[in-house]
Each structure stands twice: as C-alpha cells, then as structure tokens.
Amino acid sequence: MRKVAIVGVGMSKFGEEWNRGFRDLIIEAGVRALEDANISGADLDGLFCGTMAPGNLVGQEHTAALIADFMGLNPIPATRVEAACASGGLALRTGYMAIASGMHDAVVVGGVEKMTDVSGGLVSEALGGAGDQEWELFQGATFPAIYAMMARRHMMEFGTTEEQMAAVAVKNHLNASKNKYAHFQNEITIDQVMKSKMVASPLKVFDCSPVSDGAAAVVLVPLENAKKYSKDPIEIVASAQASDTLALHDRQSLTSIHATQEATRKLFSLANMTTKDIDVVEVHDCFTIAEIMALEDIGFFKKGEGGGATAEGRTALNAEISVNTSGGLKGCGHPVGATGVKQAVEIAWQLRGVAGARQVKDAEIGMTHNVGGSGATCVMHILKRV
Ligand code: COA
C-alpha cells in the first residue's frame, strides 16, 4: 500500500444557495481544489463523488459523469459513491483506496448535495430513505424522530439534559460564526435553543442540522509525489469504515453507535494512535445528541459524560479537544453528500494553520467522523501535517 496525501482542498459556501444548481456547486468546489493543488485536469486519472439523493432532490442521476463533463475532465473514469449522509466520507475513502492500491496516481474527490429546490416534506422523505424504509420511514419515523428516541434513552440512562444538548448547538454556532463558508453565521444562546420550536421531543429546531446546499472537494496523490503539488500536503494516516443495522430496533443499544465504536477501533489500530494524539476533530453532529454520543463512542469522554463535558466547555475551540471547528453539521450546514468531504477540508485547513479566527493552536493531527443515517455506516479518517 502506498501512503496518500491531500494536496488541494476547496468548498462552496454552504447554505440556502438558490442562485446556484447542483452542478454549479460541485464545479465551484472542484475547481477550487484543483487550483489549490496547482494541478491541471489532464493530470488527474480518477474522479469520485459522494452524493446521497440527487434523483429525489434535483431529478438528476448519473451525477459522476455529469460532473466530469462540466469540469472538462472527460474521458476520466468517474464514479458516484452513496452511503446516505456518509457519502462524502466514503468517497474520500474510495479515493484513498484508489491511490493507496496503486490503481490511480491523482484523483479528485468531491461531495455535493442540492437540497433546497424541493419542499421540506420531500427532503424529509428523501433523507428518511437512509433508515429502514419499511420499519421506520413508512411508519412516520423521520430522522429527527429517530435521533429523538436516542436522546430520550440517553437522558434516561445517563441523566443527560436538554441544556447540555443545547450547549452543543451554542458551541457549533459560535465556531460557524468564524467560518465564511458556513450556513449560519450567527451566535445563539442556550435560552434561544431551549425556546426554539419543538421538532421531535426533546429535539428542537436548534438541536437539528439544517437542510443545506453545498459542495466540497479534495485532490489526492501518493505522499511521495505530494511536494510536487503542495508546499503543505496533509497525509491521510488511516481510513476506517464499519456498518450496522439500518433499523434502530435491531440495535443492542440506543445510546451508542456501534459502527462508530468499530471504525474507531480499526482507525486507532491502523494509525497506532489514541484519542490523546488528536488535536482537532470534526464529528457527525446531525443532531446535538449525535455529537455527544460520537464523543463518547470515539472515547474522548466516558459513556454518559459527553453532555456534561460539552456544557463545561471542554470541547470548545482550543479547550481540551477542539470539536467541530467548522461549525459542524449544526452550524456550517449539512448538504448531506458534501459533509464528509467538508470535514476533511476543514481539518486540512486546521493542520495547515490557515483557519483564521477558528484556528486550533499548533494543530498537527486531526480526525473526521462521518455517519450515514442513524449509524448504519461510519467512515473515519486521521489526517496529519507532513
Ligand atoms: N437550525 C437553525 N435554524 C434553522 C434550522 C436549523 N436546523 N432549520 C431552519 N432554520 C431556520 C431557517 O433558516 C429559517 O430562518 P429565517 O426565518 O430567519 O429564514 C427558519 O428557521 C424557518 O426555516 P424552515 O426551512 O421553514 O424550517 P423548517 O421548520 O421547515 O425545518 C427542520 C426545520 C429542523 C425540520 C429542518 O431543518 C430539518 O429537517 N433538519 C434536519 C435535517 C436532517 O434530518 N438531516 C439528516 C440528518 S441524519
């Protein structure tokens, strides 16, 4: 296996981008990544793009070929990757495997979703397909409802409170207010979260990630060639993935994501690292309870202590562990197929030391954690400054 490096990163602004379509968003991100890597399209030999539901959301399938066409990359081999909200992370892992195996020498990996062209009901239905259609969505259990069940159980087993969950949203909006690409640029208070409209009890609007448009992209090459393209390449030290049941009722626990625990185990073993080595992490906070569970499942905090740790400020920028400096899915936004790639873009900026007002001091090693649905897929990466 060859070592793999990220040599270029780029993203579009996340948000309700009504003046731009699916292809505009991914091409903007892709061109920025290529320019950042100072690489021409002719030097690329593969394209991988994560996107979850373009057929339902914009009526477009066959999206990898479309992107290759509009980026002027034909006849490059172009492959779409789908794993619900983990589509971006899985596209990154697919690109990583393509370079590591020696099959490809320079690939662009993108993630994109255009979600705001259809009604909220249709978005919920499209997203609901990431769960078990027959046992969950068909019965009316949309994603806020599914995560609400996890939140209720977490509150019952560990005493986690709604205020502790609100603290996740407050922190992530604060980080997002320092990120010009973020969907939300406004700070919020615990009181605002607590008084926001109930979506699925106990989760309120401000406990939820929003419905967003956006795209992100990275360029990957073998580490041995990286300095040809970038003065500050980022090594992908390890990549891991795990699966679990789609249906929540088949799980042994509602308060842990088993796929996260399994992917974490593999990831740290491949990298020969522990949580203590990680300076900055982007975790999958599709709902505030999801960030708390991720921090516990990865092992930053003991089970049941993630909420308290967040409320005490231990996950804030430059605190014990800097979590979701981009603003996370909650503040930066969650164009589902783009999220996993955006996480890698944010970590690359942090490790290069160019994250501006949200820079983690002396960040050397970062981690990404991308979840599909309620935890049926988990994809994680460890990135390191070279
Ligand atoms: N956080 C903060 N503000 C939000 C928000 C969120 N999650 N969702 C919407 N808003 C804001 C909008 O910006 C808008 O503000 P404005 O009036 O100042 O323009 C206002 O709330 C109303 O927006 P609207 O789009 O009508 O909200 P909605 O009630 O239709 O949708 C949710 C709110 C929470 C239901 C929707 O964001 C949602 O479904 N989120 C979850 C997405 C999801 O499941 N993703 C996959 C996870 S696995």
Whether 27 lines ligand 1, by a CB cut-off of 6 Å, is no
Q: Which helix (H) or strand (E) segment is 266 a member of?
A: helix 258-271
Does the CB atom of residue 371 touch ligand 1 within 6 A? no
Structure token pair of residue 209: 């990630």
Q: How far is CA 9 from the centre of its chain?
A: 15
Question: Ligand 1 pocket check: which of 115, 197, 208, 378 to mutate, most ligand atoms within 8 Å of Cβ?
Answer: 208
205 lines ligand 1 (CB under 6 A): yes
Closest residue CA from atom 29 of ligand 1: 205
Residue 302: predicted pLDDT? 98
Ligand 1 close to Cβ of residue 127 (< 6 A): yes
Q: What is the pLDDT of residue 175?
A: 98
Contacts of residues 68-76 at CB distance under 8 Å and 24 or more positions apart, as own/partner, are 70/23, 70/27, 71/27, 71/30, 71/31, 71/41, 71/47, 71/108, 72/41, 73/41, 73/44, 73/47, 73/108, 76/41, 76/44, 76/45, 76/46, 76/47
Q: What angle do CA 228, 103, 35 make, to 5 degrees?
A: 35
Q: Compute the distance between CA of residue 343 and CA of residue 330 in angstroms, rounded to an integer.
A: 13
> What's the pLDDT score for residue 25?
98
Distance from the alpha carbon of residue 211 to the mean position of ligand 1, in angstroms: 6
**CA-124 nearest atom, ligand 1:** 39
Nearest CA to ligand 1 atom 3: 206
Residue 322 host element (H or E): strand 322-323
- Chain centroid, CA 168 distance in Å: 16
Distance between CA atoms of 333 and 331, rounded to whole angstroms?
A: 5
Report CA-CA distances (Å) from 349 to 121, 157, 239, 294.
35, 38, 19, 22
What pLDDT score was predicted for residue 355?
A: 98
So what's the pLDDT on residue 82?
A: 98
pLDDT in tens, the chain (386 residues): 999 999 999 999 999 999 999 999 999 999 999 999 999 999 999 999 999 999 999 999 999 999 999 999 999 999 999 999 999 999 999 999 999 999 999 999 999 999 999 999 999 999 999 999 999 999 999 999 999 999 999 999 999 999 999 999 999 999 999 999 999 999 999 999 999 999 999 999 999 999 999 999 999 999 999 999 999 999 999 999 999 999 999 999 999 999 999 999 999 999 999 999 999 999 999 999 999 999 999 999 999 999 999 999 999 999 999 999 999 999 999 999 999 999 999 999 999 999 999 999 999 999 999 999 999 999 999 999 99
How many degrees, rounded to 5, is the angle at CA 12 between CA 8 and CA 13?
Answer: 135
Can you list the domains of the chain with their CATH numbers? Answer: 4-119+212-234 (3.40.47.10), 142-209+236-385 (3.40.47.10)
pLDDT score at 224: 98
List, by residue number, the catalytic residues.
85, 334
